Amino acid sequence: MKIRIGFIFGGDTVEHEVSIISAVQAMKNIDENKYEVVPIYITKDLRWLTGNLLKDINSYSDYDLINRYAKEITIVKDKEDYLLKSKKGLFNRTINQIDVAFPIVHGNNIEDGTIQGYLNLLKIPYVGSNILGSSVGQDKVFTKKILETANIKVVDYVWFYDYEYETNNQDIIKQIQTLEYPVIVKPATLGSSIGISLAKNEKQLKIAIEEAIKYDRKILVEKVIKNLKEVNCSVTGNYEHAFPSAIEEVIKEEDFLSYQDKYLAKGKSKGMVSTNRILPANISHEMKLKIEETSKEVFKQLNLSGVCRIDYLIDQDTNELYVNEPNTIPGSLSFYLWENKGKPYSQLLDELIIQTIKDYKNKMKKTSSFETNILQNFNGLKGSKTKLK
């Protein structure tokens, strides 16, 4: 029997559409002799839908069509089965069933441990990083702090909360000025370059911070690397093993790699695949080895698994390598970086699912609850004197 894979995508995130593109690419490339594709699309207003039309990218240009033909469901664990139950009508009809969940979601409120937590609670095996890795990887400030303790270089930075800026902006501006202009201002937990801007002086800095504050309560300001080369390396594996992919060099057309550069470079959106890139990157052999080693270490330090992409900034004046950020569920799952290393996309997906099933079985061997019910010998709460420990 085929293994049923529930591809979960969409959600209430600014990267909703990018997630649809990434998921449709994956659903098209999976080996259908071995796996059955079950699309599970979370709309922006958080309805969970399923149906074959959700495998086709053209369906998403007509939401009326989706509302009419896709079925609204909830996932229910029933003994060893994970059922997709219809939400309509008197009876809770089972529409479909999945064996493994494959979240292909990007951004805040979903990629950041949220969907992982939901799947954990239902005990569904799922592809990719656990809650901890996902949430740390989504927060650029936490990521930096962990990498610093592991002696992995990150660009100098200052961070603060919106209320701190709103109550005492002069102190914060002073702190930022120790980095020297130009600086780059980022919402700490977003992606796809949303809310990011460069500032060359105090006036621009204030505008940049106001912009970032629209998206996030936590703001990060970094020193700008002026003579920049940007490279990315994907990693697959789990807590025991990590394997680096080919390394790409990404080319920006604006001051920094924008949403436009990433997803719309060739006019029509194809997700991360449309970014202008040199593959493999134009770097020395030593730099390549350093990136591969660092990528494996970042993967391990941040508790990642599945397929991730680690993004780097190289200062070409000093030849210094800095980790910019991890992407715990990268756009297009970085399949092109694996294809370049000789691994077809279908094989990448196959390996990720096999790894997930193995890791799930190992995890289930660990004790998670006790058979005995300690409450059987519990005499009840005897008035207010009884202390619960």
Ligand X SMILES: Nc1ncnc2c1ncn2[C@@H]1O[C@H](COP(=O)(O)OP(=O)(O)O)[C@@H](O)[C@H]1O
Structure tokens that stand for 205 in this block: 């800095």
Tell me how far the alpha carbon of residue 217 is from its chain's centroid: 19
What is the DSSP secondary structure assignment for residue 352, as one 8-state letter? Answer: H
Q: Which stretch binds ligand X (CB under 6 A): 6-14, 158-166, 219-227, 369-377?
A: 219-227
Q: Using CB under 6 A, which of 256, 273, 276, 360 touches ligand X?
A: 256
According to the binding rule CB under 6 A, does residue 155 interact with ligand X? yes
What is the rounded distance in angstroms from the CA atom of residue 103 to the CA atom of residue 5?
A: 10
Q: Between residues 50 and 324, which has the closer beta carbon with respect to ligand X?
A: 324
Taking residues 266 to 305 in sequence order and writing x for each that binds ligand X by CB under 6 A, - otherwise, the string is ----------------------------------------
First to last CA, the chain: 49
Q: Should residue 173 be labelled a site residue for ligand X when binding is judged by CB under 6 A?
A: no
Residue 186 interacts with ligand X (CB under 6 A): yes or no? yes
Identify which of residues 100 and 298 has a Cβ nearer to ligand X in the complex. Answer: 298
Which residue of 99, 139, 222, 292 would you call a contact of ligand X, by CB under 6 A? Answer: 222
Q: How far is the CB of 325 from ligand X (least distance, A)?
A: 5
225 part of the interface to ligand X, by CB under 6 A: yes
The yes or no reply on residue 324 touching ligand X (CB under 6 A) is yes
Q: Which of 83, 189, 185 is nearest to 134 (CA)?
A: 189
Task: Determine if 139 is a binding residue for ligand X (CB under 6 A).
Answer: no
H or E stretch covering 309: strand 306-315
Secondary structure element (H or E) that encloses residue 219, with its range: strand 218-223
Please answer whether residues 160 and 212 qualify as being in contact, where contact means their C-beta atoms are separated by less than 8 angstroms. Answer: no
Number of residues near ligand X (by CB under 6 A): 20
In the sheet where 320-327 sits, what is the strand order?
277-278, 242-250, 228-237, 306-315, 320-327
Q: Nearest 5 degrees, angle CA 369-CA 374-CA 378?
A: 155
**Shortest Cβ 213–ligand X spacing (Å):** 16
Determine, following the binding rule CB under 6 A, whether residue 179 of this chain makes contact with ligand X: no
- Site membership for ligand X, residue 325 (CB under 6 A): yes
What letter represents residue 63's amino acid? Y
Stretch that binds ligand X, among 28-36, 93-101, 119-127, 190-198 (CB under 6 A): 190-198
230 binds ligand X (CB under 6 A): yes
Question: From the CB of 36, what's the least distance to ligand X, in Å?
Answer: 34
Angle at CA of residue 264, ends 258 and 270, nearest 5°:
125
Closest CA to 290 of 310, 263, 267: 310
Dihedral-angle region of residue 38 (phi above 0 means left; psi in -120 to 50 means alpha; beta otherwise) = beta
Contact status: 252 vs ligand X (CB under 6 A): yes
Closest distance of CB 156 from ligand X, Å:
9
Min. distance of Cβ 162 from ligand X in angstroms? 18
Which range, of 127-135, 143-151, 189-197, 269-277, touches ligand X by CB under 6 A? 189-197
* Contacts to ligand X from residues 343-362, by CB under 6 A: none
Work out the angle at residue 367's Cα, subtended by the Cα atoms of residues 366 and 369, and round it to the nearest 5 degrees: 150
Does residue 308 interact with ligand X by CB under 6 A?
no
Separation CA 286–CA 283 (nearest Å): 8
Q: Under a CB-based contact definition with an 8 Å cutoff, are residues 34 and 350 in contact?
A: yes
Alpha helix ranges (H) inside the chain: 16-29, 63-69, 114-121, 131-138, 140-149, 162-167, 169-177, 202-213, 259-263, 285-301, 335-339, 345-365
Question: In the window 25-54, what residues touch ligand X (CB under 6 A)?
Answer: none
Asked if 196 is part of the footprint of ligand X (rule: CB under 6 A), the reply reads: yes
- 109 to 138, contacts with ligand X by CB under 6 A? none
Q: Rule CB under 6 A: choose which of 191, 244, 306, 331 binds ligand X.
A: 191
Return the range that interacts with ligand X (CB under 6 A); candidates 78-86, 191-199, 206-214, 264-272. Answer: 191-199
Decide if residue 311 touches ligand X (CB under 6 A): yes
Can you give the binding site for ligand X, defined by CB under 6 A?
155, 184, 186, 190-193, 196, 222, 224-225, 228, 230, 252, 256-257, 311, 313, 324-325
